[in-house]
Amino acid sequence: MSNKNLNWAVIPCAGLGTRLMPVTRSVPKAMLPVGNYPIIHFAVKEAISIGIENILIIIGDGMDTLRSYFSEIENMPESLDEENINIEEMIKSSDIRFLLQEKPLGVGHAIKLTKRIIGDNSFAVILPDDLIFSKPNSLQQLKKIYDKHGGHVIGLNELKKNEIEKKGIVDFKKEKDRYKITDLVEKPKISEAPSSTGILGRYILDYSIFDQIDDSDEGETNLTDALSLSLKSSEVSGKILEGYHFDTGNPNGLVKASNFFLKNSKLILEKY
């Protein structure tokens, strides 16, 4: 039986960051800065802020800087204490662990790696490329639906026509408090897309998703396909996420996110 209490989060970070080459040859994309904070900081903060205590960050080879960022620093100069207090509080208030994904085989594969640790617990998934500033934050918006309907809940947004073939697309019945998902298709042709509503980097998943994820070691393992298979036995709900969204997986999005953060940093650090 599934444990419906949400106390786990998975943050996949093992991707190669090809859209951000060449800097990602030596710097993990999750460590690239938005203002003076790395992208991963906002993902972990989002999980902790809704009470999640167990966080699994999926990393690839050569990404030890992610571990270092969440390590306590001894003898911190007093003049830097205030600037680092957010990080120290995050470390103390949660159990942050790291799992190695030896090959970048996609989000589905990264999630499947966590099965032996998460067991029969439900869990959140945060794709840190999708940086969203909102209050309540994105996971809190999804959790409200999850607490009522259970099953799987996914973040959504409306896409421009030229984005449809690059994203997971959903079909749905719109209800008062959610989108009841009836179909999911990964990167369809525009002519075959069931809608212009796409999946946006936030999920709350029941542990039953593990059984729907292929065990393939060749090519990327697709989470959208696993969710599509889940429709036969589980509720799948969605919500258009409110807030300011930035795709930090490309240079333009990263710059826009940094500019927004620098203009609103005090509010974001205190409220979001």
Percent of the chain with pLDDT over 70: 90
pLDDT band at 152 (very low <50, low <70, confident <90, very high): very high
Contact assessment for residue 107 and residue 219, using Cβ atoms and an 8 Å cutoff: no
| pLDDT, position 222 | 84
Show the tokens assigned to 2: 């599934």
SS3 109: helix
| pLDDT, position 266 | 80
Q: How far apart are CA 151 and CA 265, in angstroms?
A: 35
Mean pLDDT, residues 183-194: 93
Mean pLDDT, residues 65-72: 89
pLDDT in tens, 17-58: 889 899 999 999 999 999 989 999 999 999 999 999 999 999
Q: How far apart are CA 270 and CA 34, in angstroms?
A: 16
What per-residue string of b and e applies to 184-223 under the rule 16 or more CB within 10 Å gives b? bbeebeeeebebebbbbbbbbbbbbbbebbbeeeeeebbb
| pLDDT, position 80 | 54
Least confident of 68-77, 100-109, 113-122, 186-195: 68-77
User: Which residue type occupies 238?
Assistant: G
| pLDDT, position 82 | 53
| pLDDT reading at 188 higher than 60 | yes
Least confident of 108-122, 164-178, 212-226: 212-226
Decide the pairing of beta strands 130-133 and 244-247.
Answer: antiparallel
pLDDT in tens, 225-260: 999 999 999 999 999 999 999 999 999 999 999 999
SS3 43: helix
Return mean pLDDT, the chain. Answer: 90
Bond before 136 cis per omega within 30 degrees: yes
Contact assessment for residue 209 and residue 119, using Cβ atoms and an 8 Å cutoff: no
Least confident of 46-50, 107-111, 214-218, 229-233: 214-218
| pLDDT reading at 265 higher than 60 | yes
pTM: 0.92
User: Which residue type occupies 186?
Assistant: E
pLDDT band at 3 (very low <50, low <70, confident <90, very high): low
SS3 193: coil
| pLDDT, position 103 | 87
Q: How far apart are CA 10 and CA 99, in angstroms?
A: 10
| pLDDT, position 247 | 95
pLDDT in tens, 69-91: 998 776 666 555 455 556 777 88
DSSP 3: B
4, with CB counted inside 10 A (0-12, 13-18, 19+), is exposed
Least confident of 5-14, 79-88, 211-220, 230-239: 79-88
